[in-house]
Amino acid sequence: MAICASFFLTSFFLPWLGHLPYLLFFIMVALTGIDFIMLYRGSRHVFLRRDLPERLSNGDENELHIYVENFYPFAIHAGIIDEIPFQFQKRDLLFQVSLKPATHKNISYMLRPTKRGEYLFGKVRLYVQSPLQILTRRFDFCQEEMIAVYPSFLQLRKYELMAVSNRLTEMGIKKIRRIGHSMEFDQVKNYVQGNDYRTVNWKATARKGELMVNSYTDERAQHVYCIIDKSRAMKMPFEGLSLLDYAINASLVLSNVALLKEDKAGLITIAEKVGSIVPADRRPAHLGKIMAVLYKEKTRYLETNMEALYSGVRSVIKQRSLVIFFTNFESMTALTRQLPYLKRMAKHHLMLIVFFENTELKAISQTVASDVEGIYIKTIAEKFAYEKKLMVMELAKHGILSILTAPEKLTINVVNRYLAIKAQQKI
Sequence-distant (6+) residues with CB within 8 A of 285 are none
pLDDT at 168: 53
The pLDDT tens digits for 80-119 are: 999 999 989 888 789 999 999 999 999 999 999 988 989 9
**Any idea which of 19-28, 385-394, 415-424 has the lowest mean pLDDT?**
19-28
Question: Considering its fold, how many domains does the chain have in total?
Answer: 3
pLDDT at 230: 92
In a domain, 366, yes or no: yes
The pLDDT tens digits for 246-262 are: 999 999 999 999 998 88
Statement to judge: residues 161 and 254 lie in one domain: yes
Statement to judge: residues 387 and 248 lie in one domain: yes
Statement to judge: residues 169 and 202 lie in one domain: no
| Residue 178 pLDDT > 80 | no
List the domain range (segments joined by +) for residue 231: 153-177+219-424
Q: What is the CATH number of the domain that holds 112?
A: 2.60.40.10
CA-wise closest residue to 146 among 55, 245, 48, 51: 55
Statement to judge: residues 274 and 383 lie in one domain: yes
pLDDT at 225: 95
SS3 readout for the chain: CHHHHHHHHHHHHHHHHCCHHHHHHHHHHHHHHHHHHHHHCCCCCEEEEEECCCEEECCCCEEEEEEEEECCCCCEEEEEEECCCHHHCCCCCEEEEEECCCCEEEEEEEECCCCCEEEEECCEEEEEECCCCCCCEEEEECCCEEEEEECCHHHHHHHHHHHHCCCHHHHCCCCCCCCCCCCEEEEEEECCCCCCHHHECHHHHHHHCCCEEEEEECCCCCEEEEEEECCHHHCCEECCEEHHHHHHHHHHHHHHHHHHCCCEEEEEEECCCEEEEEEEECCCCHHHHHHHHHHHCCCCCCCCCHHHHHHHHHHHCCCCCEEEEECCCCCHHHHHHHHHHHHHHHCCCEEEEEEECCHHHHHHHCCCCCCHHHHHHHHHHHHHHHHHHHHHHHHHHCCCEEEEECHHHHHHHHHHHHHHHHHHCCC
pLDDT at 9: 46
Statement to judge: residues 131 and 246 lie in one domain: no
Per-residue pLDDT band at 179 (split at 50, 70, 90):
very low
In a domain, 36, yes or no: no
The pLDDT tens digits for 319-359 are: 899 999 999 988 888 899 999 999 999 999 999 999 998 87
Statement to judge: residues 288 and 401 lie in one domain: yes
Statement to judge: residues 367 and 255 lie in one domain: yes
The pLDDT tens digits for 183-230 are: 555 677 887 776 777 788 888 888 888 888 877 655 567 899 999 999
Q: What is the CATH number of the domain that holds 295?
A: 3.40.50.410
In a domain, 227, yes or no: yes
In a domain, 15, yes or no: no
- pTM given for the model: 0.77
pLDDT at 175: 45
In a domain, 296, yes or no: yes
Statement to judge: residues 270 and 122 lie in one domain: no
In a domain, 251, yes or no: yes
pLDDT at 211: 85
The pLDDT tens digits for 392-421 are: 999 999 999 999 999 989 998 998 899 888
pLDDT at 3: 55
Arithmetic mean of pLDDT over the chain? 84
pLDDT at 353: 95
In a domain, 27, yes or no: no
Mean pLDDT of 264-289: 91
The pLDDT tens digits for 125-156 are: 999 999 988 899 999 998 899 999 999 888 87
Statement to judge: residues 127 and 169 lie in one domain: no
Q: How far is residue 160's CA from residue 57's CA, in Å, rounded to a whole number? A: 15
| Residue 70 pLDDT > 60 | yes
Q: How far is residue 246's CA from residue 23's CA, in Å, rounded to a whole number? A: 68
